[in-house]
Amino acid sequence: MPGVGDGRPAIADIHGRCDALLACGWRRVEIAAQVTERGESLPIHAYFNSTSVDRVLIGGIHGREPAGAIALSRYAGRLASLGGAPHILLLPLLNPWGYSRHLRYGPSGQSVSDSDHLLGRAPAPACPEAAAITAFVLDAVRINPGAAVLDLHEDPVYEAPEYHLEGQGSYLYVSGEGGLDHPVARRVYRCLEASPLPLIKEGLTRFGEQLVDGVIVDTEDGSIDELLAKKRACCPVITTELVLHSEATPPLSERVSTYLHVLDAFFGP
Ligand SMILES: [Zn+2]
């Protein structure tokens, strides 16, 4: 794996920590694989402790946003200690190819979990991973109505030098009927608000979305989060963003630590 200058662990470390769940009765499925230039296969794994789930954890969709995948893998021990309740689907690293290369998208240059083909906006899946990942969450596992979703992203604003967002910190997307007032969303909101990477309350994202009190509500971005909100009635669907002014600003350790606290908030007191 080529080195990335932010200190992120190898893919094997992410998977190894999650594999510890298998000894606690969790199952692992390979949803798809990404093939490297050298013919190496990088599996995209799903872990779950029931085939009917009420919580969904997602990380590693975009390869320049490693903190979520790392935090989820480090949280696996805590998930094991929850003892089978609640019923959880964990998708820790959906784009290992991008993670290892520090690239946003997968090998086909498309978002690995793009869902526009199932939201009536595209005739076909954007890439093979998008076909497999969306089919998996809709067909292979039952995600119950009202399931809470947490999708951990980061926003590498340094990709767009002409763009400027005032402030250091975080913001979030919340979807689902009444999602913003849901206790799970309130806990995650308060956790980020009080974190060392606090919510940026006002401004415009580089995708042109207006932040209102640090939140964008019910966005239509073709993401797996929109898919889960609309096709599985998940609520709240929470997508968190940590703003990156360079690949190590703020430092990766601080971002992972923040996301470990967000995971605690997601699961509650
Ligand atoms: Zn992202």
Residue 126 Cα, ligand 1 centroid: separation in angstroms? 16
The per-residue b/e assignment along 175-213, b for 16 or more CB within 10 angstroms, e otherwise, is bbeebbebebbebbbebbeebebbbbeeeebeeeeebee
Given a cut of 70, the residues of the chain with pLDDT beneath it are: 1-3
Q: The pTM is what? A: 0.97
Whether a cis peptide bond, with omega within 30° of 0, leads into 9 is: no
Residue 54 Cα, ligand 1 centroid: separation in angstroms? 23
Asked if residues 72 and 263 have their Cβ atoms less than 8 Å apart, the reply is: yes
Q: What is the pLDDT of residue 161?
A: 85
Residue 130 Cα, ligand 1 centroid: separation in angstroms? 15
Residue 236 Cα, ligand 1 centroid: separation in angstroms? 18
Residue 106 Cα, ligand 1 centroid: separation in angstroms? 13
The per-residue b/e assignment along 250-263, b for 16 or more CB within 10 angstroms, e otherwise, is bebebbbbbbbbbb
Q: What is the pLDDT of residue 3?
A: 58
Q: What is the pLDDT of residue 1?
A: 47
